[in-house]
Amino acid sequence: MAPIPSSDPARIQIDAVTLQRGGTRVFDGLSLVLEEARIGLIGDNGAGKSSLFRMLCGLDLPQSGRAEVCGLDIRTQRARLPGVLGLMFQNPDDQIIFPTVAEELAFSLQARDVPRREARRRAADFLAERGLAHWADRAVEGLSQGQRQHVCLLALLMSAPRVLLLDEPYASLDLPGQARLAADVHAGAQQVLVSTHVLAHVRHFERVIWLDAGRVRADGEGEAVCAAYEADVAARTGVR
Ligand X SMILES: Nc1ncnc2c1ncn2[C@@H]1O[C@H](COP(=O)(O)OP(=O)(O)OP(=O)(O)O)[C@@H](O)[C@H]1O
Residues near ligand X (CB under 6 A)? 21-22, 24, 26, 43, 45-51, 90
Helix pair 175-187, 145-159: axis angle to 10 deg: 20
Rank residues 135 and 210 by Cβ distance to ligand X and give the closer one: 210
> CA 173, 231, 39, 77: dihedral to nearest 10 degrees?
100
Residue 24 interacts with which of Mg ion, ligand X, none, CB < 5 to 8 Å by class: ligand X
Residue 78 interacts with which of Mg ion, ligand X, none, CB < 5 to 8 Å by class: none
Closest-by-Cβ residue to Mg ion is: 50
In angstroms, what is the minimal distance from the CB of 95 to ligand X? 15
The residues of the shown chain that bind Mg ion, judged by CB under 5 A, are 49-50, 90
Rank residues 171 and 227 by Cβ distance to Mg ion and give the closer one: 171
Please state, in angstroms and rounded to a whole number, the distance separating the CA atoms of residues 104 and 120.
Answer: 9
Please state, in angstroms and rounded to a whole number, the distance separating the CA atoms of residues 207 and 70.
Answer: 19
Residue 22 interacts with which of Mg ion, ligand X, none, CB < 5 to 8 Å by class: ligand X
Q: Which residues have C-beta within 8 Å of that of residue 149, sequence separation ≥ 6?
A: 88, 92, 169, 171, 172, 173, 177
Please state, in angstroms and rounded to a whole number, the distance separating the CA atoms of residues 89 and 156.
Answer: 10
Rank residues 117 and 236 by Cβ distance to ligand X and give the closer one: 236
In angstroms, what is the minimal distance from the CB of 128 to ligand X? 34
Residue 43 interacts with which of ligand X, Mg ion, none, CB < 5 to 8 Å by class: ligand X
87-125 exposure pattern, b = at least 16 Cβ within 10 A, e = fewer:
bbbbbbeebbeeebbbbbbbbbbbebebeeeebbebbbe
Residue 45 interacts with which of Mg ion, ligand X, none, CB < 5 to 8 Å by class: ligand X
Rank residues 74 and 109 by Cβ distance to ligand X and give the closer one: 74
Please state, in angstroms and rounded to a whole number, the distance separating the CA atoms of residues 114 and 125.
Answer: 15
In angstroms, what is the minimal distance from the CB of 114 to ligand X? 31
215-220 vs 72-73, strand pairing mode: unpaired
Rank residues 36 and 94 by Cβ distance to ligand X and give the closer one: 94
